[in-house]
Structures are given as structure tokens and as C-alpha cells.
């Protein structure tokens, strides 16, 4: 199905011609952040490409190429899904082995030299200016696993859980791109048996393996988004590690929810994968027997994606252990359901808003999305490759979340690359 490219793309690359994800990059020689797409081990610099009239064969009436002069993808995103589709399809045809436009890039040696970069020479930036970051809790197995740890199995899910996608506002200003260091937070912690907290570096620093969605559309204050139109609001998807300090969280979160336990850092993967690239990998979410209110009922049953997720810890010494393999379909609510719920009371969403799925876990050992679950509440060590053990993260640990879709057919792999961060010591 998917054509091959005249560019050499390694077998197994996350960035096949079937993908074409968008990001913001800069280079040492050209430090201004600018839009680009990833393909194989290359990046196409869209600022240079657009300036050199690379879009001349597109003949679009809706693409304003000045969006590729921006330092974020917000203006491109705001052009809407039909323009994203058109641009992605056009770039696929430009990269295609049998491109109808060989003069645009393939045979233009000078433009190739200017516009095509090796991915390793570029620095990634947070791809959109994030208005608000809302984090949901749609990973049912995660909610159950945590509920069992905190409240026991008979009472694991709260009464509202099966009726609505529980969510909360998180902190946009501390969202960083993959590769940024993650400073271990200090905060108030109540030690067991004590009645007064201490100020200390978190000793229960955790991973939350999530999928994030960036929005490309806004709704006016007071006007909910219909669930069947919610897909039009999604620009694309990234991997998300919503780092969590469990000891800070346990003390602070009553009654208004997590605050400092989460707001110190959240890491996203750099490349925004468009919904079109994931369309082939649609599948059903975790079934919900509840008779949902009509505003949450979707026409489609394949409302989530089957992205294979893998979480690894790389120790200070460089030894890597895969600690989880799970699937992004382990969600009981889809992003359209989250959007419909987020706006049902009239809350206005904005271009650049980031929604998190909540931690994605399976039901079995080896498929869990957080150390809290893997260690049964910080009680049972997990084993790493080199004989080391962990309850929670140590300074120097690098956590890498990877996500890819590979249906095994000829359609091409669609991946997210890496969402990684290394823990650096607390300032305390």
C-alpha cells in the first residue's frame, strides 16, 4: 500500500513514508526554531522548503505557507484538519519513489542540501505553545490497580469512574520535550508514623506512561463540542510521561487533587503524529458496560489506537531494561469522549491545548504503566538487567517510552520515536 521513498529509510524506522509527523527543530547553525517533518533518519526543514517554493505543486487554496515561518506549530494546527491532510499527502508524494514532482526535491540537489537534515543534528523543541494541559484518567486498568492499592479490591473504582472520563487541569508551563533533564522535585512529605511533614526530595518518583493529544481547534465559551465532531479538534498525538512524585501527592492531594506532585515536569515526544497516520491502527477501547449519557456515546466503535508502547529504564551505567510492554488501546474513554466531557459545561478549549490520556496499563505483570503499580504500591522491588532493583526512580536513571504501530502489512510503520528523560538530583 504505502509507497517506498527515494530517500533511504531504514527497515523498522518509526518514520516511514506512512507517517510524516510534524515537529519544531533548530540546529547549531540555524538556531531559530522552525517547523519540520521527520522521515527516516532525516528531517525536512519546512521553513526552507516553503521559502524555496517547495509547495508550488500543491496548488492549495487554503495553505498559508507563512505558518512555516513560525516558532511553533500553532498556526499550522489552526489551519484545520483538511489542510494538515493535504500537506501530509503532498509531502508523501514528494518523498515517494515514483514522485510526480521529482523537480521539487528529489532532483533538486541544492534544495536537498539546504532543506534535508540528518535527524541527529537537530534539536527538538516543544512543538506547540501549550495553552492548557488537561490530564485524564482513562486507563481503566491503571485506575483499578491504583484503587486496589489505596482502597482494596472491593472499592477500587470510584462511583463516577464508569460514567465520565475523570480529568483535572495540570500544568502546561512545565511540559518539556524528550531529552530534557528531569529534576527530582522537593516537596512536603509526611513520613509514616509522623504527624508533621518534612521538606525533602521525593523518594517515590514515578513514571506515568500516557498518550497525549494536541488540539487544533477551539470552541467558544459556553458551547460544548459534539462528540461526533470532536475528532476535528485533534491535531495529532505524542507520547507523554507525566512524572509523578507519589509521596508529595499522597500528602497534598486532599481535597483538591494533585498539584506539586505533577507540576514539576511532564515530558512529551517531539513528533506530532497526525490522526491520518494512525487511522489504519484504530481499534476498540476497553468495553464499558455502563449506559453512558448520550453526550458521551460515540458512533464509531474503533475509537482508540493500537499503539504498542514500551517502557525502559536505562541505569546510570547504561544498562537498559524493558520494564513494560503495553498497548494504547488500554483506555476506557477515547479522546473524543474526553473532549465532549471537557466542554459539556461550556469550557472553551484552544488551539495548542494538550490532553493526556492518563496512565496506560494492562492487567498483567509486565504490562503496567507506572512503578506504583509494578511495585504494588512501593512494596515489591522490580528487577533490572544488571542485578539492580528499583521501587521508584533513582538519580541518573533514564526512562524511555517508545510507541509504534506495525500491522505487519506493507502499509509501513508509524512510530512516535522516543519520549525520554534522565533524573537529575534534587536541589536539596
Active-site annotation holder among 84, 141, 142, 341: 142
* C-beta closer to a second copy: residue 22 or 133: 133
Interaction of residue 263 with a second copy, rule CB under 8 A? yes
The correct pick among 1, 28, 109, 221 for binding a second copy (CB under 8 A) is 221
* C-beta closer to a second copy: residue 59 or 195: 195
Residue with cell string 496506560 = 360
Of 37-45, 168-176, 268-276, 383-391, the segment contacting a second copy by CB under 8 A is: 168-176
Strands (E), 143-283: 167-169, 175-177, 182-183, 186-189, 198-201, 205-206, 209-215, 234-241, 244-245, 266-268, 282-283
CA gap 214, 74 in Å, rounded: 10
Are the beta carbons of 414 and 281 closer than 8 angstroms? yes
With CA atoms as reference, report the closest residue to 95 among 403, 408, 412.
Answer: 412
Known catalytic residue: 142?
yes
Interaction of residue 176 with a second copy, rule CB under 8 A? yes
Interaction of residue 265 with a second copy, rule CB under 8 A? yes
Of 131-139, 234-242, 406-414, 415-423, the segment contacting a second copy by CB under 8 A is: 131-139
Are the beta carbons of 214 and 306 closer than 8 angstroms? no
Pairing of strands 354-356, 133-136: parallel
CA gap 326, 373 in Å, rounded: 13
* C-beta closer to a second copy: residue 60 or 288: 288
Interaction of residue 69 with a second copy, rule CB under 8 A? no
Q: What are phi and psi of 389, to 5 degrees?
A: -130, 160
Q: What are phi and psi of 154, to 5 degrees?
A: -75, -15
Interaction of residue 173 with a second copy, rule CB under 8 A? yes
Q: Which three-class secondary structure state does DSSP give residue 214?
A: strand
Pairing of strands 198-201, 186-189: antiparallel
Interaction of residue 193 with a second copy, rule CB under 8 A? no
User: Least CB distance from residue 260 to a second copy, whole Å?
Assistant: 4
Of 26-34, 39-47, 89-97, 259-267, the segment contacting a second copy by CB under 8 A is: 259-267
Cell numbers for 71, please give them. 516558532
Binders in 278-337 for a second copy, by CB under 8 A: 291, 293-295
86 — alpha (psi -120 to 50), left (phi > 0) or beta? alpha
Interaction of residue 123 with a second copy, rule CB under 8 A? no
Kindly state the number of chain residues that form the binding site for a second copy, as judged by CB under 8 A: 63
Binders in 350-389 for a second copy, by CB under 8 A: 350
Binders in 197-216 for a second copy, by CB under 8 A: 197-199
The correct pick among 23, 40, 167, 356 for binding a second copy (CB under 8 A) is 167
Catalytic residue numbers, as ranges: 142
Q: Which residues bind a second copy (CB under 8 A)?
A: 131-132, 137, 158-160, 163-164, 166-174, 176, 183, 185-188, 190, 195-199, 221-224, 245, 248, 251-261, 263-265, 291, 293-295, 341-342, 344-350, 427
Amino acid at each position: 500500500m504505502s509507497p517506498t521513498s527515494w530517500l533511504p529509510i531504514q527497515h523498522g524506522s518509526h518514520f516511514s513514508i506512512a507517517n510524516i509527523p510534524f515537529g519544531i527543530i533548530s540546529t547549531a547553525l540555524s538556531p531559530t526554531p522552525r517547523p519540520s517533518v521527520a522521515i527516516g533518519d532525516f528531517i525536512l526543514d519546512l521553513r526552507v522548503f516553503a521559502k524555496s517554493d517547495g509547495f508550488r505543486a500543491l496548488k492549495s487554496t487554503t495553505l498559508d505557507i507563512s505558518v512555516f515561518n513560525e516558532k511553533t506549530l500553532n498556526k499550522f494546527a489552526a489551519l484545520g484538519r483538511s489542510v494538515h491532510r493535504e500537506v501530509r499527502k503532498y509531502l508523501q508524494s514528494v518523498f515517494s519513489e515514483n514522485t510526480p514532482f521529482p523537480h521539487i526535491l528529489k532532483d533538486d540537489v541544492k534544495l536537498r542540501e539546504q532543506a534535508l537534515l540528518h535527524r541527529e543534528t537537530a534539536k527538538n523543541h516543544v512543538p506547540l505553545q501549550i495553552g492548557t494541559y488537561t490530564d485524564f484518567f482513562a486507563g481503566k486498568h491503571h485506575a483499578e490497580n491504583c484503587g486496589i492499592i489505596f482502597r482494596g479490591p472491593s472499592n477500587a473504582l470510584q462511583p463516577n469512574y464508569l460514567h465520565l472520563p475523570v480529568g483535572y487541569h495540570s500544568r502546561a508551563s512545565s511540559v518539556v520535550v524528550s531529552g530534557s533533564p528531569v529534576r527530582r522535585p522537593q516537596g512536603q512529605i509526611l513520613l509514616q508514623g509522623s504527624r508533621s511533614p518534612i521538606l525533602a526530595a521525593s523518594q517515590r518518583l514515578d513514571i506515568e506512561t500516557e498518550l497525549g493529544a494536541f488540539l487544533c481547534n477551539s470552541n467558544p465559551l459556553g458551547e460544548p463540542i459534539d462528540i461526533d465532531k470532536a475528532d476535528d479538534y485533534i491535531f495529532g498525538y505524542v507520547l507523554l510521561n507525566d512524572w509523578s512524585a507519589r509521596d508529595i501527592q499522597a500528602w497534598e492531594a486532599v481535597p483538591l487533587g494533585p498539584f506539586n506532585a505533577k507540576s514539576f515536569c511532564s515530558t512529551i515526544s517531539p513528533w506530532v503524529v497526525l490522526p491520518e497516520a494512525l487511522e489504519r491502527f484504530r481499534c476498540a477501547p476497553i468495553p464499558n458496560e455502563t449506559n453512558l449519557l448520550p453526550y458521551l456515546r460515540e458512533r464509531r466503535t474503533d475509537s482508540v489506537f493500537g499503539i504498542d508502547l514500551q517502557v525502559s529504564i536505562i541505569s546510570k551505567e547504561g544498562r537498559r531494561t524493558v520494564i513494560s510492554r503495553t498497548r494504547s488501546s488500554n483506555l476506557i474513554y477515547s479522546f473524543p469522549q474526553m473532549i465532549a466531557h471537557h466542554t459539556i459545561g461550556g469550557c472553551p478549549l484552544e488551539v495548542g491545548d494538550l490532553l493526556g490520556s492518563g496512565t496506560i496499563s494492562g492487567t498483567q505483570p509486565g504490562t503496567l504503566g507506572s512503578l506504583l503499580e509494578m511495585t504494588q504500591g512501593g512494596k515489591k522491588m522490580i528487577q533490572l538487567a544488571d542485578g539492580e532493583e528499583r521501587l521508584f526512580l533513582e538519580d541518573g536513571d533514564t526512562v524511555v517510552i517508545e510507541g509504534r504501530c506495525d500491522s505487519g502489512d506493507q502499509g509501513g510503520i508509524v512510530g512516535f520515536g522516543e519520549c525520554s528523560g534522565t533524573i537529575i538530583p534534587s536541589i536539596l
